[in-house]
């Protein structure tokens, strides 16, 4: 990828290859360094409190505007792609890197009959399981969280044809480029016909920014597009939203990609 980037100490990289070489090594040593990259990412999150503020990096106040923006985007997609959803269509979603289940609880569970959650950090997934436990008064066919998978994205292969929507928010930066591509390629088989991915992620102004603390990278829009084309995916709809925080701007892009 011919884009220059930075790490969180301000160090510059000529291109993404140089950064990945430093982080996960050359071919021979790659397995060990890559394992370490993922281990450090997980151990960062293992030290974070299982709360909305925790999974949002201290910006818990973003929750509401994030969910509202996502809801408008999801409604538009669902009415485009599943115009007959009201007619007893059984919709299933997967919440990837779900953390404590914030997105499932505030959004997905209201639109999907079943939601599966995938999250590699067990104390987050335990919190999700607890807060999404079915309530006694619920009818058996109510919307519910069904499966809780405690695995990272790079090791996950979905059940064939199970999902209408695979939601990936604020976690794909933990994946290396190759694992990003192979995850989406494997995950495609998990989509029902007409199903789609939603990727919501912060974007770098250009190139990429490596966060050495949690072992993740923020990619630019261009970088994402290059990776989507390697995945054989194209963008169906995309929306940029700007979440304004006190003295801080986070640019977030919603990309909905569907199969070519
Ligand atoms: N998507 C949630 C959580 C965001 S925090 C939300 O928006 O509320 C980032 C999450 O990514 C954490 O829960 C972290 O444990 C998870 N994560 C870290 N590495 C991951 C990996 N390799 N695969 C999947 N999820 C990962």
- Measured from the CA of 95, which atom of ligand 1 is nearest? 1
Average pLDDT over residues 135-153: 85
- The distance from CA 203 to its chain's CA centroid, rounded to whole angstroms, is 13
Q: What is the DSSP string of 12-29?
A: EESSHHHHHHHHH-STTT
In this predicted model, what pLDDT tens digit does every residue of 63-114 receive, in sequence order? 999 999 999 999 999 999 887 766 678 999 999 999 999 999 999 999 999 9
Does the annotation list 210 as a binding residue? no
Average pLDDT over residues 27-50: 91
- The distance from CA 170 to its chain's CA centroid, rounded to whole angstroms, is 5
Query: Quick one: pLDDT at residue 73?
Result: 95
Query: Quick one: pLDDT at residue 81?
Result: 86
Does the annotation list 36 as a binding residue? no
pLDDT of residue 13 exceeding 70, the answer is: yes
Atom 25 in ligand 1: residue holding the nearest Cα: 97
Q: What is the DSSP string of 204-251?
A: BSSSEEEETTTTEEEEBHHHHHHHHHHHTEEEEEEEEEEEEETTEEEE
pLDDT of residue 198 exceeding 90, the answer is: yes
For 112, the 3-state DSSP assignment is coil
Give the whole-number percent of the chain exceeding pLDDT 90: 78
Query: Quick one: pLDDT at residue 255?
Result: 57
Q: For residue 98, give the CATH number of its domain.
A: 3.40.50.150
Query: Quick one: pLDDT at residue 30?
Result: 75
What pTM was estimated for this model as a whole? Answer: 0.93
What stretches of 48-154 show up as alpha helix (H) in DSSP? 52-55, 63-81, 102-103, 109-111, 122-131
Q: How far is the CA of 75 from the centre of ligand 1 (A)?
A: 24
Q: Which domain holds residue 186?
A: 5-259
- Using a 6 Å cutoff on CB, does residue 154 contact ligand 1? yes
Query: Quick one: pLDDT at residue 87?
Result: 63
- Measured from the CA of 121, which atom of ligand 1 is nearest? 15
Residues 43, 247, 225, 201, Cα dihedral to 10°:
40
Average pLDDT over residues 108-121: 97
Does the annotation list 153 as a binding residue? yes
Q: What tokens were used for 11?
A: 């160090």
Q: How far is the CA of 135 from the centre of ligand 1 (A)?
A: 26
Does the annotation list 227 as a binding residue? no
Q: Count of domains in the chain?
A: 1
User: Residue 250: pLDDT band by 50, 70, 90 thresholds?
Assistant: very low
């Amino acid at each position: 990828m011919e884009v220059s980037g930075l790490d969180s100490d301000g160090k510059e990289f000529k291109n993404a290859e140089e950064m990945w070489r430093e982080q996960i090594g050359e071919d021979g040593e790659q397995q060990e360094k890559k394992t370490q990259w993922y281990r450090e990412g997980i151990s960062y999150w293992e030290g974070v409190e299982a709360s909305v503020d925790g999974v949002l990096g201290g910006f818990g106040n973003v929750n509401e505007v994030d969910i509202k923006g996502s809801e408008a985007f999801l409604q538009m997609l669902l009415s485009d792609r599943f115009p007959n959803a009201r007619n007893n269509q059984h919709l299933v979603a997967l919440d990837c890197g779900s953390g404590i289940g914030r997105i499932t609880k505030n959004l997905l569970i209201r639109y999907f009959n079943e939601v599966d959650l995938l999250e590699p950090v067990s104390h987050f997934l335990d919190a999700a399981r607890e807060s999404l436990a079915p309530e006694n008064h619920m009818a058996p066919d109510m919307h519910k969280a069904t499966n809780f998978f405690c695995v990272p994205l790079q090791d996950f292969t979905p059940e064939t044809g199970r999902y209408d929507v695979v939601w990936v928010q604020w976690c794909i930066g933990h994946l290396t480029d190759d694992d990003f591509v192979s995850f989406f390629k494997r995950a495609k088989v998990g989509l029902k016909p007409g199903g789609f991915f939603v990727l919501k992620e912060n974007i770098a102004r250009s190139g990429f920014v490596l966060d050495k603390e949690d072992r993740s990278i923020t990619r630019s829009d261009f970088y994402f597009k290059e990776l989507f084309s390697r995945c054989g995916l194209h963008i169906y709809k995309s929306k940029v939203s700007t979440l304004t925080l006190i003295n801080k701007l986070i640019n977030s892009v919603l990309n909905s990609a569907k199969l070519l």
